[in-house]
Amino acid sequence: MICSGSCSRWGELGYAWHEQGQKLHKRTSFEDFIDSTQALQDGGCAKPERTVAYGNSAGGLLVASAVSMAPDCYAGVIADSPFVDPLTTLLDPSSPLTVSEWEEWGNPLENQKVFEYIRSYSPCENLPSQGKQEGKGGGEAVQEWRFPSVLAIVAKQDARVSYRESLKWVSLLQEIGADAVVNIIENGSHGGGSGKYRRWEKFAMQTAWCLDIIGCSN
C-alpha cells in the first residue's frame, strides 16, 4: 500500500520544500506521488495490480487526483475523509476551514488563475473517461476500460471535510461505471470513530478490502 497523509505540515525537508507544493504548484504533490509509485514498481518492489493508494484528508485529495492522472499504476485507492471537492469548498467562505485553507490552496474567489488551477486537479471536476481508440479501418473500437477500485471512508460528524464531498465524488464515479463505494461512519469525526476498538474495526475493514482488490481474499 502506498500511503499519503497530513502528518507534518512542513514535511521533513522544511517549509521551503512545503511551499513548492502549495497553491499554483499543488500538482507537483500529485506528480511526486505518482513518480514514487512508478519508481517502486520499476524497481520490482510492487506491481500495479497489487498497488493500493491510501490517503487521509488532504492526502485523500492527493491519492484521488493521482489515480485519476495515472490509473494504470493502481489497483485501488482508499480515500479516508478525503478533500475531493476542493473547488466547491474553497468557493464557500462560510465553510468552517475555507478561509484558513486559502493559504494552502489559494483563493479561487479572488483569483481566476487559482480557480482554473484548482479545477484542473479537483477529482470531482476531472473524472476518468472511458477512452476509445480508432480501429484500423478508421472506425472506433471500444477500448477495454479500467479504473482503480475506490473505497471512500467518511464520518457524518466530520467538521473538517464534509462527507458530502465523498458522496458526490463516488456518485460521479459510479455514473461512469467505476467500482466505487462509500463507508459511512455514523458516530465519528475527522479521524473516524472514537475508541481503539472502532479504530481496529476500521483498519480491519480497510485491510480486508485491500486484500480483496489485489486478489488475496482467498
Name 173's Cβ contacts closer than 8 Å, sequence gap at least 6.
Answer: 127, 147, 150, 180
Radius of gyration, alpha carbons of the chain? 18
Handedness of CA 72, 76, 81, 84 (dihedral sign): positive
Name 49's Cβ contacts closer than 8 Å, sequence gap at least 6.
Answer: 75, 214, 215
The number of angstroms, rounded, from the C-alpha of 13 to the middle of its chain's C-alpha atoms is 23
Model confidence at 8, in pLDDT bands (50, 70, 90)?
A: very low
Helix H segments across the chain?
Answer: 15-19, 27-42, 58-69, 86-90, 98-105, 112-121, 163-175, 196-213
Residue 177 has pLDDT above 80, yes or no: yes
Residue 32 has pLDDT above 50, yes or no: yes
Ranges 49-58, 138-147, 158-167, 185-194: which has the least confidence: 138-147
Specify the pLDDT at position 11: 60
Q: Stretch 205-209: mean pLDDT, rounded?
A: 93
Active site residue 158: yes
Catalytic residue among 18, 32, 189, 190: 190
Q: What are the angstrom distances between the C-alpha of 194 and each of 57, 155, 190, 209?
A: 17, 11, 10, 21
Residue 47 has pLDDT above 50, yes or no: yes
Choices 3.40.50.1820, 3.40.50.300, 3.30.2080.10, 3.40.50.620: CATH for 2-131+146-213: 3.40.50.1820
Active site residue 25: no
Give the cell for residue 119.
Answer: 479545477
Report how far residue 143's alpha carbon sits from residue 202's, in angstroms, rounded to the nearest whole number.
36
Specify the pLDDT at position 133: 40
Catalytic residue among 4, 57, 122, 162: 57
Report how far residue 131's alpha carbon sits from residue 147's, in angstroms, rounded to the nearest whole number.
11
- Per residue in 131-155, pLDDT (tens digit) is 444 444 555 544 566 899 999 999 9
Residue 57 has pLDDT above 60, yes or no: yes
Nearest to residue 91, comparing CAs of 124, 138, 47?
A: 124
Return the SS3 of 76: strand
The number of angstroms, rounded, from the C-alpha of 60 to the middle of its chain's C-alpha atoms is 4
Q: Stretch 84-109: mean pLDDT, rounded?
A: 94
Residue whose grid cell is 479500467: 146
Catalytic residue among 68, 80, 81, 158: 158
Specify the pLDDT at position 38: 97
Q: Stretch 33-44: mean pLDDT, rounded?
A: 96
Q: What does the angle CA 152 – CA 148 – CA 74 come to, to the nearest 5 degrees?
A: 110
Active site residue 179: no
Does residue 122 contact residue 162 with C-beta atoms inside 8 Å?
A: no
